[in-house]
Amino acid sequence: GENVEQHPSTLSVQEGDSAVIKCTHSDSASNYFPWYKQELGKRPQLIIDIRSNVGEKKDQRIAVTLNKTAKHFSLHITETQPEDSAVYFCAASFWTNTGNQFYFGTGTSLTVIP
Amino acid sequence: GAVVSQHPSRVICKSGTSVKIECRSLDFQATTMFWYRQFPKQSLMLMATSNEGSKATYEQGVEKDKFLINHASLTLSTLTVTSAHPEDSSFYICSARDREGTGELFFGEGSRLTVL
């Protein structure tokens, strides 16, 4: 099955700096890689995702890169703000029209220091 | 986006009792729902995949007789923690994938279970 590793487990940055979170996965069949943000006591929310036929995707201050061959994918947050503080999870999934499972990384607790 | 509602958000029960948690997709049909368990400051651990009209698929190490899952309709899955013990205390989250959608996973609000 799929195994997703995520680093670092905790990350502190100064407001305005960039934050990078990295994940690796093991199953080459995985073709969908979402990133979720979870604030304390709340549900995870999708913030960005990328499919295996794309190498990079950007949405305002958030970007995700994917190295399909190396099975690496990363989340980049620029110009960080205190409200970016949360736990971030990467996930890998083999998506088809009939169904799929999502395998999550261990999470990164991001703290943005004002 | 699609909405998944989970109920109750918090429940406290005595050891030995059973607790049922509901997960509903409010504006879409979900043939598959997932149940996760999350310990403080840890990741989402997949417990089981709930399939509408058939038996759930449990992950290795998850007791199917302990965590009963029923997916009776395209919009409702339930997780029953039977004969709960203090070690079952945790945050349980369900999620669902829109049957007609793009594959995005939508999460419920989560249920905080405390077993005394």
Residue B34 near residue B94 (C-beta atoms within 8 A):
yes
Query: A109 — contact with chain B (CB < 8 Å)?
Result: yes
Q: Tokens representing B68?
A: 């009963």
Query: A46 — contact with chain B (CB < 8 Å)?
Result: yes
Give the pLDDT means over successive 10-residue stretches in chain A (114 positions): 91 98 95 92 91 93 96 97 96 74 90 96
Residue in this structure with the two tokens 């009792």, named with its chain if needed: B17
Closest Cβ–Cβ partner in B1, B49, B105 for A34: B105
Whether B110 sits inside 8 A of A95 (CB atoms) is: no
Phi, psi of A60 (to 5 degrees): 55, -115
Minimal CA separation from B15 to chain A, in Å:
24
Q: What is the structure's pLDDT at B2?
A: 77
Closest Cβ–Cβ partner in A45, A100, A105 for B43: A105
- Comparing alpha-carbon positions, the chain A residue that sits nearest to B44 is A104
Whether B110 sits inside 8 A of A42 (CB atoms) is: yes
Residue in this structure with the two tokens 């994938």, named with its chain if needed: B97
DSSP symbol at B42: -
Minimal CA separation from B72 to chain A, in Å:
18
Q: What is the structure's pLDDT at A47?
A: 95
Task: Tell me the average pLDDT across B41-62.
Answer: 87
> Which are the contacts of A17, defined by CB distance < 8 A and separation ≥ 6?
A80
Count other C-beta atoms under 10 Å from residue B33's C-beta.
30
Minimal CA separation from A42 to chain B, in Å:
6
Task: Tell me the average pLDDT across B2-28.
Answer: 94
